Each structure stands twice: as structure tokens, then as C-alpha cells.
Amino acid sequence: MNPLIEQWLSGGPLVTDGGWGTELQKLGLPVGQPPELWNQSQPQKVEQVAASYVAAGSDIILTNTFGANPILLARHDAADRFEELSRLGVEISRRAACAAERRVLVFASIGPTGLLPMMAGPEMIDRLSEAFEKQAAALAAGGADALVIETMADPIEAATAVRAAKKTGLPVVACMTFGSGKKKDRTMMGTTPETAADLLLDAGADVLGSNCGLGIEGFLPICQRLREATDRPLWMKGNAGLPKMVDGQSVYDQTPEGFADEAMKLLDAGAVFIGGCCGTNPAYIAELCRRVKKN
Ligand SMILES: [Zn+2]
């Protein structure tokens, strides 16, 4: 195991944060606007989300840098701002983390680019590699404790991101999003947990996991299959149930108590990093902390 990760886990499982996108939208982030732009224009609102998770008891908070890569930002004429937006994102979460009187780690988020290399050639992989290397280097320079590759559907993109992130020397968490296929056990590109584990471990991932896609109640079989596939630590961040569209808005109906019940099953199945994704908020994380830290 990566020695830093081993040290962080020495006190038992760690609770991460919950959803960011859904929380930023509550604070007025317009749908369709890249949230990362707020690291510069609305830093106090971004810090409010980070601080709300620190207050809820998170041991690890992420950063508002999911899409801070040159490829995605180019669609908003902001490709040249990826470095600054990445650095600011880490600094904002770090400020919130440092305000706590206990250790709170900052893991920087790296999401997909929207390009699907499974469908393209090696040229695409070079382009992705370069973008992820730039983003990872900016997040490391900003002072992140670790990097989290998340919400990945394409295994080639995920592995490319892991290889790029590993070049920083920081521990790397690699997560894919399952929930497609008849058994809801594949990514959108058809990848199973076993194939994901093979490719991501080969790329050097220190922690394997899954986030988003499914309500947390659907995560148990994914967690069990990843546990079978590796002895590396597992990271699980499920959604607050499956979203229902009400008046054009996504509504998640899993309660914090029901969510925590499911999360505890994931800990029993071997997860050691546990938190939430879309639809979860500080109330879910606070309930999770009450359960996880009881003993
Ligand atoms: Zn999500």
C-alpha cells in the first residue's frame, strides 16, 4: 500500500465529502456554466461548500476542479485558465480544511474530458495525456494531498488520467462510474469492475473505487467485485438514490439515515473511504460520520 495512504488509514475508515455540483447549484451556479470558473469569480461560495463538509465531519474534502482541464475549458474559451482555476480550487479547499481543529485532507478532483478514446486512435490518447498531465501538475503545485480521478466511463481515459496523475508523485485514487447494462454493473462504455480494476491497477492507481451513476444501494455488488479484484484500498461515493425529474429539476429521495445504512454495508464489504456523490449534502455526511466514528 502507498505509505501515505497507509498512514492516513491507520485510525480506521475515512469519511469523504458529498456532492459538490448539486450544492453549488443551490448557491446559484447556473446550469451549463463550468463550476470551476467560480474558483475565481465566487470563491466564497465555493469555500462555503468545502467548509460545510468540514463542519459535517469529513476527513477528506475534494476540490472544485473536476473539469479544470484544458480540453473541457476550451469549450468555454477558458483553456488558458486551467492552471489558475486548478490552483485556486485547491487553495479554497485547503483554507476550509485548515480551519478545522483536526486533520482534514484535500484530495483534488479530476473528471473526464468528454472525449472518448475507446472510439478514437492513439492521437487522442496523446492529447488526453497532455491535458491530464497539465491538470495534475497544477493541482499538485496548488498543494493537494492526493489526486482523485472520478466519474470515468471510458477505461482508456481513466488509465491515461491515472498515468498522468502518478507523474506528480502524489497518491492517486481512480474511480469509475457504473450503472449501465442489464445488471447495472458496467460503465457507459461497457466496462466491468474487473476490467476497470485490471487497467487502473496496471496504470498505477493506489486506491480503486466508484462514484456517481447509481444510488448508493446499487454500490454493494460493485464494491464486492472490486474487493475480489484487488487488495488495494477501496473508495465508494454513491448518489442519494436515483434522481427523479420534478419540475425540470433532479430530485434525490434517499434520506441521510437510509444512505448511512447502505454506506455501512459498503464498509463491511471492504470500503475504507466512504462518502457521497450527487444529491448528498452535509446532512448525509454528518449522519455517516456519526455512524462511522461511533467506536
Ligand atoms: Zn455524482
Length of the chain as a residue count: 295
Cα-to-centroid distance, 112 and ligand 1 (Å): 12
Cα-to-centroid distance, 25 and ligand 1 (Å): 13
- The pTM assigned to this predicted structure is 0.96
* Contact status, residue 14 vs residue 60, Cβ threshold 8 Å: yes
With both helix axes pointing from N to C terminus, report the angle between 282-292 and 256-268 in degrees, rounded to the nearest 10.
50
Query: Residue 106's beta-bridge partner residues?
Result: 61
pLDDT of res. 6:
97
Domains of the chain by start residue, with CATH: 13-292 (3.20.20.330)
Q: How far apart are CA 111 and CA 230, in angstroms?
A: 23
pLDDT digit string, tens, across residues 122-153? 788 999 999 999 999 999 999 999 999 999 99
- Asked if residue 209 has pLDDT above 90, the reply is yes
The runs of H, that is alpha helices, within the chain are 3-8, 21-26, 38-41, 43-56, 70-74, 82-98, 122-141, 155-166, 193-203, 219-229, 256-268, 282-292
Cα-to-centroid distance, 122 and ligand 1 (Å): 29
Cα-to-centroid distance, 84 and ligand 1 (Å): 24
Cα-to-centroid distance, 170 and ligand 1 (Å): 24
With both helix axes pointing from N to C terminus, report the angle between 43-56 and 282-292 in degrees, rounded to the nearest 10.
30
Query: Residue 95's beta-bridge partner residues?
Result: none
Cα-to-centroid distance, 278 and ligand 1 (Å): 4
With both helix axes pointing from N to C terminus, report the angle between 193-203 and 219-229 in degrees, rounded to the nearest 10.
50
Q: How far apart are CA 245 and CA 270, in angstroms?
A: 33
Instruction: Using alpha carbons, select from 215, 271, 210 the residue that is nearest to residue 243.
Output: 215
Cα-to-centroid distance, 182 and ligand 1 (Å): 21
For residue 31, name the pLDDT band (cuts at 50, 70, 90): confident
Cα-to-centroid distance, 274 and ligand 1 (Å): 14
Cα-to-centroid distance, 80 and ligand 1 (Å): 26
